Amino acid sequence: MRPRNALLVVVLLFAAGTPVHGRTEASDPQAVGRDDQSRPGVAKGASPAAGRTFLPISDDDASLLRAVLSERFPSWPARVFVFDTTAVLDPATARPDSQRSLRGSDLGRNVTLVTSREALVALSRSQDSAVLIELTLPQHETDRHHATVNYKVMRYTPTGYRFLRGTVTVALQNEQWTMTNRHESAESGSPLRVGGDVKPPKLVKRVEATPTPEAVQSRISGIVIIEVLVDETGHVGDARVLKPLPFGLDAAALTAVRQWEFSPGTLNGKPVPVLYNVTVQFIAK
């Protein structure tokens, strides 16, 4: 028998004005609320992303990520915004502790940690040269002297957002982490809106949102509407909440949606980055 306070999570996927399972749903990003508050600066303590408190990253991994940022952006003149929680590339193979808080870590003098909800606002309000970076937890080799870090980079320009993905390998040399190899995708241009000749992406891998204990206890129901940027490879380049829910459910939905994978949207049959709206529905039982 299902407990009375269990929370059933139902995910609905749609593009504005397109039918879903025989229904038509639409959302107007201008008509729904969003969090426009930017709080730059490094806060101390663990990160409460998605209503959860993540363990802090180790000092060694913080030193490693600082080396990656300083070598990848050695003379970056403006702020480098970094998501305050490490990303998970593949939830199916990720360890339970793959997501760690970066709060309180020294990642460099130009680095400002931001939450998912603060990210695009902070980026769009900054100079054109500012960048937004999402980092994975370093994956160490057995000898603990070599590691790999994956990342996503987004920057805002007057013509729209541009983004890329990268992977770096680092080695511990003379007690300091040094980048030994780097591979990056080509930078993508501004995403297109789905409609007309721009065909929507199709969901191929979904990660279910985990409701917070507070939401389960309070038996909260409702939907979170999220705008996602799906790149040419079908990965979520970024996501922002258009319609939130309380008790950390909007952050829980963001954490899940950022891990979804799609077959990319297309224009005249060719993959292109697109903006696409999805909803995550929480139903209290």
Band of the pLDDT at 3, cuts 50, 70, 90? very low
Which residues have C-beta within 8 Å of that of residue 93, sequence separation ≥ 6? Answer: none
Strand partners, 56: 101
Average model confidence (pLDDT) across the chain: 77
Among candidates 135, 117, 131, 128, which has minimal Cα distance to 64?
135
Residue 163 falls inside a structural domain: yes
pLDDT on residue 36? 32
CATH code: domain of residue 198 = 3.30.2420.10
Quick one: 168 and 53 in the same domain?
yes
pLDDT tens-digit profile of 37-72? 333 333 334 445 445 678 899 999 999 999 999 888
CA contacts within 13 A on the Cβ side of 150: 10
Q: In terms of residue numbers, what domain contains 241?
A: 7-31+191-284
Q: Is residue 162 part of a domain?
A: yes
User: Can you give the three-state secondary structure of 84-131, one letter per residue?
Assistant: CECECCCCCCCCCCCCCECCCCCCCCCEEEECHHHHHHHHHCCCCCCE
pLDDT digits (tens, 9 = 90+) for 18-41: 333 333 233 333 232 233 333 333
Average pLDDT over residues 123-148: 84
176, with CB counted inside 10 A (0-12, 13-18, 19+), is exposed
Does some domain include residue 168?
yes
**Cα–Cα distance for residue pair 83/188, rounded to 1 Å:** 20
Q: Are residues 147 and 203 in the same domain?
A: no
For the ranges 37-41, 93-97, 208-212, the one whose mean pLDDT is highest: 208-212
Task: Name the residue type at position 63.
Answer: S
Beta 236-243 vs 222-230: how paired, if at all? Answer: antiparallel
Same domain, 95 and 149: yes
DSSP 235: B
Q: Which of 132, 166, 184 is the last residue of a domain?
A: 184
Three-class secondary structure of residue 238 per DSSP: strand
**Has residue 58 been placed in a domain?**
yes
Calculate what percentage of the chain has a pLDDT beyond 70.
Answer: 74
Token pair 């459910």 is found at: 249
DSSP string, 167-183: EEEEEEETTEEEEEEEE
Domain CATH number, residue 87: 3.10.450
Confidence of residue 108 (pLDDT cuts 50, 70, 90): confident
The residue out of 165, 184, 203 marking a domain boundary is 184
Whether 256 is in a domain gets the answer yes
The model scores a pTM over 0.75: no
- Which residues, 6+ apart, have CB-to-CB distance to 109 below 8 Å? none
Instruction: Return the residue matching tokens 């992406």.
Output: 201
Does residue 36 sit within a domain?
no
User: Residue 137 corresponds to which tokens in the numbers above?
Assistant: 């937890």
Distance, CA of 124 to CA of 157 (rounded, Å) = 8
pLDDT over threshold 80, residue 222: yes
